[in-house]
């Protein structure tokens, strides 16, 4: 007997995120290949990295969504707004696809690094 876990509830997926796929052009430079959007649950965290110069603070965004109709890979660009006041951008660092007991994809988990927050004027 196989079954699927219930999907992430729609009321939790409150942030519209634009994900821009990247690829290398003929010169070896990074170029945008396709642009997709999806609804995500977005959570922020900080990672403290001790170095010889002191402590570096790395901002990390964890995003969860039900299965998407497009592929997301490491190096893709992420952009979204918070409360229409702050623009957040970053780069996909890691993508995980947790599975249902029957082997199908339950949801998508994306870790975003190189996070930058800018106030919208």
The domain locations on the chain are 13-119
The contacts of residue 100 (CB under 8 Å, 6+ apart) are 3, 4, 5, 106
Tokens read off for 72:
């997301």
Residue-wise pLDDT tens digits, 24-43: 777 877 777 889 999 999 99
Q: Is pLDDT larger for residue 56 or for residue 20?
A: 20
Other beta carbons within 10 Å of 121: 4
Length of the chain: 121
Q: Which pLDDT score is estimated for 47?
A: 83
Lowest mean per-residue pLDDT among 23-27, 45-49, 103-107: 23-27
Q: Is pLDDT larger for residue 121 or for residue 50?
A: 50
Lowest mean per-residue pLDDT among 11-15, 40-44, 80-84: 80-84
CA–CA gap between residue 109 and residue 43 (Å, rounded): 11
């Amino acid at each position: 007997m196989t079954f699927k876990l219930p999907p992430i509830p729609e009321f939790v997926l409150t942030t519209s995120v634009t994900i821009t796929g990247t690829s290398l052009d003929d010169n070896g430079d990074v170029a945008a290949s396709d642009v997709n959007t999806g609804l995500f649950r977005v959570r922020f965290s900080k990672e403290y990295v001790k170095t010889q110069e002191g402590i570096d603070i790395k901002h990390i965004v964890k995003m969860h969504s039900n299965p998407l109709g497009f592929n997301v890979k490491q190096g893709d660009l992420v952009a979204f707004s918070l409360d229409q006041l702050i623009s957040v951008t970053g780069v996909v660092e890691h993508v995980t696809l947790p599975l249902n007991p029957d082997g199908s994809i339950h949801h998508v988990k994306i870790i975003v690094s190189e996070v930058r927050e800018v106030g919208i004027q």
